[in-house]
Chains A and B, each alone.
Chain A
Amino acid sequence: MKNRLRILRAERSWSQADLAQRLEVSRQSVNAIETGKFDPSLPLAFKLARLFNTSIETIFSDEE
């Protein structure tokens, strides 16, 4: 699943570790989601959307 996490993170000058801390997950988790290797659950996707003050669809797209 494609996502815009890297862009959204860059807009806020957050490192992967910063985002991981805000999400209360490991940095490896953020990296795995960002690179599209791991699809987050719906609760984590909502958490991401709330954190970036946007919708889930803005962050994730179901394109391969």
Chain B
Amino acid sequence: MLCDPGSKAGRRYLYRLIPMSVVYIAVVYLSKWSFRHFHPTGLVVYLLAILPALPMVGSLAIVGLYVAEETDEFERSILVRSILWGLAAALAISSIWGTLEDFAQARHLSSFLSYLSFWIVMAISGVIIRLRYR
């Protein structure tokens, strides 16, 4: 678990993140559906394309709020270290893949995967860090 669900801040984090995840899924489907059925042009293309990114940015803000609101310094330290591992992994993966694309003609991957790798590594490192204190 990335947060301490027993703390007020942990519960607020979950109450914010779960609806935001639902909004993200809804917006992704809405955007895809709109592109498929309305074939938008001009500015609407940009607006519809950027729409799914808004809840993604929002979820990062929710993580930031949790760091700011968690009063249990031990829990906060675990979260901050998990975030650092997630950020380091996201930057490392995108840097390595970027050079592979530039110099080895590797297949282009969406930069969205950086966001995904951030969350995956943050979750895994959170569990590993927590295990060290058992």
Q: Could you tell me which A residues sit within 8 Å of B by CB distance?
A: 24-26, 28-29, 31-33, 35, 37-38, 40-41, 44
Contact = CB atoms under 8 A, between A and B. Distances in A.
Given A26-B4, A28-B130, A38 B72 contact: no
Contacts of B71: 24-25
Q: How big is chain B's contact interface, by range?
A: 10 to 19
A26 B72 CA distance: 7
Nearest to A24: B71
A43 B7 CA distance: 19
Residue among A24, A25, A31, A38 facing the most chain B CB atoms (10 A cut-off): A25
A37 B73 contact: no
B132 interface: yes
Interface of B: 4, 6-7, 71-75, 77, 130, 132-133
Nearest to A23: B72
Given A26-B6, A26-B7, A38-B77, A31 B72 contact: no
A2 B63 CA distance: 33
Given A26-B4, A26-B7, A40 B130 contact: no
A44 B77 CA distance: 14
Contacts of B133: 28, 31-32, 35, 37-38
Contacts of A37: 132-133
29 contacts: A24-B71, A25-B71, A25-B72, A25-B74, A25-B75, A26-B4, A26-B6, A26-B72, A26-B74, A26-B75, A28-B4, A28-B74, A28-B75, A28-B130, A28-B133, A29-B73, A29-B74, A29-B75, A31-B133, A32-B74, A32-B133, A33-B74, A35-B133, A37-B132, A37-B133, A38-B77, A38-B133, A40-B73, A44-B73
